[in-house]
Amino acid sequence: MKVLRITPDRCTGCMRCELACSYMQTGTFQPAKSVIRVSPFEAYASYAPYTCPQCAEAWCLTACPVEAITVSPVGAKVVLDDVCVGCKLCTIACPYGTIFYNAETGKAFKCNLCDGQPACAEACPTQAIEYVEAETHDWLGAFAAERAARHLTTLASA
Amino acid sequence: MGSTVPGGYAGKILRVDLSTERIWTEELTPEVCRTYVGGAGLGAKILWEEVPPEVGWDHPDNRLIMATGPFAGLPIWGTGGLTVVTRGAMTNGATNTQANGFFGANLKHSGYDAIVIQGRASRWVYLYIYDDTVELRDATPLLGKDTWETQQALEQLLHLSGHQLSVYSSGVAGENQVRFAAIAGDYGHVASKNGCGAVMGNKRLKAVAIVRGTKGLRVADPRGLMLAAEEIADDLKYDPSTRSLYEYGTLPGVMNLLRLGALPIKNYTTNVAPPGVDLDKWTAPGLRNGFPHRGYQCNACGMHHCHTQVLPAGPHQGELVDEPEYEGWSAGWAMGCTDPVAVAWLNTQIDRACVDVNEFGWLAGWVMECQEKGYITKEQLGGLELRWGDVEAANRLLQMIIRREGFGDLLAEGVKRAAERLGGPAAECAIYTLVGNTPRGHDHRARWEELLDTCTGSSGTLDSGPPVRHTEWGLPARFSTFDPEAVARVVGVTRGRRHFEDSLGACIFTTRTYMATLCRALNAVTGWDFTKEEAMRCGRRTAALLRAFNVRCGITPDLERPSKRYGSVPVDGPAKGQDISKHWEHMLDVWYETVGYDRRTGKPLPATLRELGLEHLIPALWGSEEAAHARR
């Protein structure tokens, strides 16, 4: 299955993925509605994007009481808007914080891999986000742990 | 909101009166969008209409305009910046200066295309913007903080990090109204020209803090926009003229300009690198890879340009700094410093202190030369010894300047005023234009187009910049920098292109493509049918407005010349013996004729104003003289 492979070391924090993603989600350039999100590490000195890794054992899907989350033909876990009741259980269940609640529509929303042509991967100028055949993985874990440790060490020694 | 404005615009101008602490918004009309586009164009219009000649740079009624444009906040490379337009402290005339980062993107996503600030606060405040929440908040806890500390303090206070918050401030230099104080933010991006930071300080505005807004930007043709964005990106990546800029930003400038004799060394006293300098360290790969580094790009940008770096050696080893631009490296050379690590450190101190890096480079280099020659004594400097290349001493001088301590109080007035005050042989060593500003970080005696452009500029710096894709206008691809006629024509014919670029809300390094391509992107965003001719006319309109503003402020053509040292003859290096002064009057003749301005008064001619749709300026500029001129 093709997945969004994220190589955090390549990210320069330009946020172009968020712009492209939000266009696919809303039809406007509105990063607040993006489902890929770039976070800063080490204060502001490094950045990395993150979105739903489409876990095999999807807790969002399991947690949903009305079966509004299903698997799309490209293997993405997607929210069925006409079934979702907006209870937000999925947002609590997700261990990565990559499923969101839209107060305007009253529905959950998340990465749907743009039905097989992810805009974020196309928009990324540094190939920090690629859409490739691979096993999915917690792409950010090691990077975040190392960066956070470094930041905390600096704070401790300050 | 903004339903009547074209795509790409948020549709509103945010207005702030600091005197009354009143905040309101103003609708942007489709006509204003099409005529002035945004950024420099919109700023020039507001400046002309709202700042009469009796309102000097330090008058409360002066306007501080921070404007974006239709590209800001969209996925075109390098579209997060801002243009600052105001009546500036160096020339007491128009200012048009840019910084990049995320200010423009955050502002647009909060729903505003520009901020216009007037009045003077009765207490130190910062402006907080998050969507419809716009407030003036107490800035007392931020006083005395440099630009980086100010941003860090607001991040902690507001519990935001990274690009969720963009903060632009003017440092301690702004608080003390140092004439060449800048406005800087997002850790390394600086709108540096003409003392815009002094205006901000004069208004008692410590900072502008913009939270990344939640609003959406609509465009007319999203698919067309993405295609045009890719075309611009491909041009930057693969065209030979922009390839090195794409790979290394402005780093290749140091060695390229050294080869031309245009790298300023030791305050224009030489153009040859001192013996023993390891020039391998000064190549673009040397400067990039000589430091642990990481890309740190502006909104949506794929250039390998902006970086953060860590100092690998020396007394400040381990400190995180912003990778200097060419201008920062060249300021080091102007002070005789040839150690990249030392220059990189000093460059960030300058950004944090918040002064124009060029002006400080010329100032420190000048003081070093004067001290060596005994024109300025150690006692005058309060015991400070300033030897060529000593960045630690230069930083002490910087700190004296931004606090206006001792001799620093005089130097805080900038090179021209300090030199004129001292007079004598010291004044003859100083580099400046008679209008009041100093040049960019080149030795323009080996780059005549920029010397002419700097002296005739109406923005406190050069107006047109190095020609980009100028064959689009029928100009020859190559011309000699020492050919007075060709140089004056190129500077004149290309005038307006930079003003148009600075109206788009994009970085001038990412707009180095054909004007026709930029128009394709603009049309996809807005739904217009701009041609490159209309775009150029739009840029020339902005240039003429800024020029008219300066004429109205009393800046006359007799001031458009270099100081003695700035216009002198290089004594060594590749440009040895080239003397621009012999050609100066002729170059001005050709330039004035090309741009359609009056050689005697400096005013844009009535015919030029009509052609640009600025006939409403004619009564104010020409009055009854118009008829007389028609007869001449």
Q: What is the average per-residue pLDDT within B72-81?
A: 96
Domain range for A100 is 54-110
Q: Do A29 and B217 touch (CB under 8 A)?
A: yes
Over 50: is that where the pLDDT of A158 sits?
A: no
| Closest-CA residue of chain B to A26 | B216
Q: Where are the domains of chain B?
A: 12-211, 253-428, 444-495+531-631
CATH number at residue A142: 3.30.70
Instruction: Report the pLDDT value the prediction gives residue B125, as an integer from 0 to 100.
Output: 98
Question: Same structural domain for residues A8 and A42?
Answer: yes
Q: B138: which strand partners?
A: B125
Q: How far is B295 from chain A (nearest CA, A)?
A: 5
Averaged confidence pLDDT in chain B: 96
Count of the separate structural domains present in chain A: 2
Contact B89, B195 (CB under 8 A): yes
Q: What is the average per-residue pLDDT within A7-11?
A: 94
Over 50: is that where the pLDDT of B602 sits?
A: yes
How many helices and strands in chain A, by DSSP H and E?
5, 8
Instruction: Report the pLDDT value the prediction gives residue A42, as an integer from 0 to 100.
Output: 78
Which of A7, A9, A10, A15 has the highest number of chain B CBs within 10 A, making it the mutation to test binding with B? A15
A47 assigned to some structural domain: yes
B299 lies within 8 A of chain A by CB = yes
Instruction: Report the pLDDT value the prediction gives residue A84, as an integer from 0 to 100.
Output: 98
Confidence grade of residue A152 (pLDDT, cut at 50, 70, 90) = low
Confidence grade of residue A147 (pLDDT, cut at 50, 70, 90) = confident
Q: How far is B162 from chain A (nearest CA, A)?
A: 5
Q: Which residues of B touch A16 (CB under 8 A)?
A: 75, 299-302
Question: Same structural domain for residues A124 and A93?
Answer: no
Over 50: is that where the pLDDT of B604 sits?
A: yes
Q: Do B219 and A15 touch (CB under 8 A)?
A: no
Over 70: is that where the pLDDT of B3 sits?
A: no
Over 50: is that where the pLDDT of B32 sits?
A: yes
Q: What is the pLDDT of residues B340-399, one digit of tens each?
A: 999 999 999 999 999 999 999 999 999 999 999 999 999 999 999 999 999 999 999 999
Is domain B253-428 annotated with CATH 2.60.120.40?
no
| Closest-CA residue of chain A to B78 | A14
Question: Same structural domain for residues A32 and A16?
Answer: yes
CATH class for the domain made up of B12-211: alpha beta
Over 80: is that where the pLDDT of A155 sits?
A: no
Q: Do A28 and B216 touch (CB under 8 A)?
A: yes
B274-279: Cβ within 8 A, 24+ apart: B274/B336, B274/B338, B277/B338, B279/B255
Q: Do B215 and A19 touch (CB under 8 A)?
A: no
Question: Same structural domain for residues A84 and A46?
Answer: no
Nearest to B212 among A31, A44, A47 (CB): A31
Q: At what angle do helices B448-456 and B484-493 cross, to 10 degrees?
A: 50
Residue B324 burial (CB < 10 Å; 0-12/13-18/19+)? buried
Q: Do B75 and A29 touch (CB under 8 A)?
A: yes
CA distance A149 to A139: 17
Instruction: Report the pLDDT value the prediction gives residue A149, as an integer from 0 to 100.
Output: 73
Q: Percent of chain B scored above 90 by pLDDT? A: 97
Q: Which residues of A touch B218 (CB under 8 A)?
A: 27-29
Q: How many CB pairs under 8 A join A and B?
A: 89
Over 60: is that where the pLDDT of B632 sits?
A: no
Is domain B444-495+531-631 annotated with CATH 1.10.599.10?
yes
Q: Percent of chain B scored above 70 by pLDDT? A: 98
Q: What is the average per-residue pLDDT within A15-43?
A: 94
Instruction: Report the pLDDT value the prediction gives residue B630, as an integer from 0 to 100.
Output: 59
Which residue from A62, A122, A65 is spatially nearest to A95, judged by alpha carbons? Answer: A62
CA distance B586 to B538: 28
B211 lies within 8 A of chain A by CB = no
Q: Do A22 and B216 touch (CB under 8 A)?
A: yes
Q: What is the average per-residue pLDDT within B253-275?
A: 97
Q: How far is A112 from chain B (nearest CA, A)?
A: 20
Using the Cα atoms of residue B418, residue B273, residue B481 and residue B535 in order, give the sign of their dihedral: negative
CATH number at residue A71: 3.30.70.20
Q: What is the average per-residue pLDDT within B139-163?
A: 96
Instruction: Report the pLDDT value the prediction gives residue B87, as an integer from 0 to 100.
Output: 98
Nearest to A19 among B75, B218, B294 (CB): B75
With a CB cutoff of 8 Å and minimum separation 6, the contacts of B628 are none
The phi and psi torsions of B94 (rounded to 5 degrees) equal: -65, 150
Confidence grade of residue B626 (pLDDT, cut at 50, 70, 90) = low
With a CB cutoff of 8 Å and minimum separation 6, the contacts of A57 are none
A157 assigned to some structural domain: no
Q: How far is A120 from chain B (nearest CA, A)?
A: 11
Confidence grade of residue A137 (pLDDT, cut at 50, 70, 90) = confident
CA distance B147 to B175: 11
Q: How far is B151 from chain A (nearest CA, A)?
A: 11
CA distance B58 to B56: 5
Instruction: Report the pLDDT value the prediction gives residue B445, as an integer from 0 to 100.
Output: 98
Q: What is the pLDDT of residues B525-563, one digit of tens each?
A: 999 999 999 999 999 999 999 999 999 999 999 999 999
Instruction: Report the pLDDT value the prediction gives residue A141, as an integer from 0 to 100.
Output: 87
Q: Do A125 and B301 touch (CB under 8 A)?
A: yes
Q: How far is A43 from chain B (nearest CA, A)?
A: 7
Question: Same structural domain for residues A41 and A65?
Answer: no
Q: Report ipTM (2 d.p.).
A: 0.92
Question: Same structural domain for residues A37 and A9?
Answer: yes
Q: What is the average per-residue pLDDT within B89-108?
A: 97
